[in-house]
Structure 1
Amino acid sequence: METSKNKAEACVLADSFQALGDETKARDLLEAWRWPNGPVCPRCKNAGDKRISKLEAQSTSRKGVRKGVYFCGACRKQFTVTVGTILERSHVPMSKWVMALSLLCSSKKSISANQVHRMIGVTYKTAWFMCHRIRHAMTADPATEPKLTGTVEVDETFVGPRAKPKTPVVALVQRDGLARVKVIASVTQKNLGAALSECVSKEAVVNTDEHPGYKNPLKQWKEHQTVNHSRQEYQRNNQDGSKASTNTAESFFSLLKRAIIGAWHHISREHLARYANEFAFRWNTRHQTDGTRLKGFGQLIENKRLTYRQVSCVC
């Protein structure tokens, strides 16, 4: 039976689709997601200690006031819900942004920019840039994210066309927990060790396959368990009752590769990290409903600007 909580979270996703074509409803949704406790000035972080007022057009005024403009009594500056977010200075209507956010947050195997362009009615170039801005917001900051603990599975794969050198990607997945993804230049002890040091606590038990690049770096960790895939060993029951495997990390890669085959078709090496982090974001919120994930993502769009010059100069 569907609970009242599930119904409420389902309404979040339904509201985002109803906002298509309704700028007022889209703006109200973004404000509710970003400021659940009321407006906060993006410049001085005033949360109401000094009055924040919403500017309204006066009938006697000759100059019109844009909708959704607030005035901060602390820094004496005006702002809107898009200031300091991935939406700042975008000329795309908010209703289309809300639709794009909903699509990327709820699509388990992602969605192509070409499909977004057809569904929300923008050019392919605009849809491509919007998707990259959303993926940029989905990327976790290593400085603030907690390191993986417990049993952590680490595996690597190669992404790219057959005719060209493939790009190695390392997945570090805490069993029944979070995932981190790193795009590396080559599968060497140095690069694998750097990825482990950045993402995994030294108190973790690390599971890998028999790749020799893990042996020396993982001497610094609590325990290193391996499974021998060349001998058809994919899971081993240890004497202490634990299990050694990399099946969870391989499940993560299976989702990523299905998106490459079925949605994206091609990913350039320069942008691969953003695509991989998009999947890490959805993996880390996999136990949430689509509505809860979308609502939570509304608070991640802050302080993550990405300009077209930044994203296009690496193509």
Structure 2
Amino acid sequence: MTQHFLLSSRAKQLSLIQIAKMSDSEALKTFADIRWHSNGGNPICPHCGNAGKIYLITTRNEYKCNEYHKRFSVTRGTLFHSHKLPLQILLCAIVLFVNAVKGISALQLSRDLDIQYKSAFVLLHKLRESLINYQSDEPFNEVCEIDGVYVGNYIRPKNNINDRIDRRKTFKPNKRVVISLRQRDEIGGSANKSRTFVLKSENAFDINNIVRKYILRGSEVHTDENVWYSDLSDHYTHKVVNHAIEYMGSSGENNNQAENYNAIN
């Protein structure tokens, strides 16, 4: 059986304990290693792109470019630009955000890091924004999965049964469906790419437009038996699993990765 990603060493590259033991210089080096990973952790000037003649001003934990003659911090030009929090706090926030597979609230983050609620709120939204801004534009290919889940506008029933209103057939204008696309990682047994789309309803027109834009033609696409996915067989190898009977078909057809993603979110 394939090991779950959260149990693998790749999911434990940086921990809160490691960050708590870091000095300012160690936190700076860790941040630099992450930001300039493609350059071996060596700084690159955000002003001129120089990657050679740069030295560290240890008293200020800043870099200076010998060619552009400007100083810059390790967070210059990033979503943490002009931050006032220590690098250790920023690293802890990233770890907490990534490890909270079901999300983390600003109130909890403010308690965990001993920072103001406003700071935690802004920090979390910056991290969420980065997921959109730095999302890969490469289309999905090989084996992909699709699933939809309806969310929003749930009204809790009244305590007394005589006061309850049957809303099962009532039109709900704020109800939305979230369509999830996932690309399987055949090596890790999970998914290596995900995208979500918010629609007013599951319908063939919107789903076909999404799939044609984000999944390469000819790829293998796994869905459930929903009728809105039936047109996908025109341009894709369409595999269908009937959830009324089974979670996985006899030939391995399933959309469990997309189902799991929707269940977590």
- Taking structure 1 as the reference length, the TM-score comes to 0.65
> 2:141–2:216: 8 Å Cα contact kept in structure 1?
yes
* Structure 2 letter corresponding to 1:40: I
Report the counterpart of residue 163 of structure 2 in structure 1. none
- Say if 2:34 is the partner of 1:33: yes
> 1:184–1:191: 8 Å Cα contact kept in structure 2?
no
Question: Match of 2:124, SS?
Answer: helix
Partner residue of 2:125 out of 132, 136, 159: 132
Counterparts in 2 of 1:127 and 1:234: CA distance versus 1, 3 Å: same
Counterparts in 2 of 1:199 and 1:131: CA distance versus 1, 3 Å: same
1:1-315 to structure 2, matched below 5 A, reads: 12-13=14-15, 14-19=17-22, 22-36=23-37, 37=40, 38-48=42-52, 51-55=53-57, 67-139=60-132, 141=134, 144-163=136-155, 165-176=174-185, 177-186=191-200, 187-216=202-231, 218-229=232-243, 231-237=244-250, 242-256=251-265
Question: Match of 1:82, SS?
Answer: coil
> 1:182–1:195: 8 Å Cα contact kept in structure 2?
no
Bigger fraction of residues in helix: 1
Question: Match of 2:249, SS?
Answer: strand
Per-residue displacement from partner, 1:31-73 (whole Å, max 9, x unpaired)? 232234211112222111xx1122356xxxxxxxxx1222212
Identity among equivalent pairs (%): 26
> 1:169–1:181: 8 Å Cα contact kept in structure 2?
no
| Shift, 1:188, TM fit | 2.5
Q: Which has the higher contact order (CA 8 A, sep 6+)?
A: 1
The root-mean-square deviation of aligned C-alpha atoms, in Å, is: 2.7
Question: Match of 1:157, SS?
Answer: strand
Unaligned runs of 5+ in 2: 1-7, 156-171, 186-190
Per-residue displacement from partner, 1:218-277 (whole Å, max 9, x unpaired)? 144232222333x4343222xxxx322222211122222xxxxxxxxxxxxxxxxxxxxx
Write the distance in 2 (CA, Å) between the matches of 1:178 and 1:11.
17
Write the distance in 1 (CA, Å) between the matches of 2:192 and 2:222.
15
Per-residue displacement from partner, 1:126-185 (whole Å, max 9, x unpaired)? 11111111122233745x443322221111112224146233211112233323222223
Write the distance in 1 (CA, Å) between the matches of 2:61 and 2:123.
22
Per-residue displacement from partner, 1:184-221 (whole Å, max 9, x unpaired)? 232232321232123212121111122232223x1442
Counterparts in 2 of 1:118 and 1:197: CA distance versus 1, 3 Å: same
Write the distance in 1 (CA, Å) between the matches of 2:34 and 2:143.
34
* Structure 1 letter corresponding to 2:218: E
* Structure 2 letter corresponding to 1:135: R
> 1:180–1:199: 8 Å Cα contact kept in structure 2?
no
Question: Match of 1:232, SS?
Answer: coil
Question: Match of 1:149, SS?
Answer: coil
Write the distance in 2 (CA, Å) between the matches of 1:29 and 1:71.
18
> 1:205–1:221: 8 Å Cα contact kept in structure 2?
no
* Structure 2 letter corresponding to 1:16: I
- Taking structure 2 as the reference length, the TM-score comes to 0.76
* Structure 2 letter corresponding to 1:53: Y
* Structure 1 letter corresponding to 2:55: S
Counterparts in 2 of 1:54 and 1:24: CA distance versus 1, 3 Å: closer
Question: Match of 2:29, SS?
Answer: helix
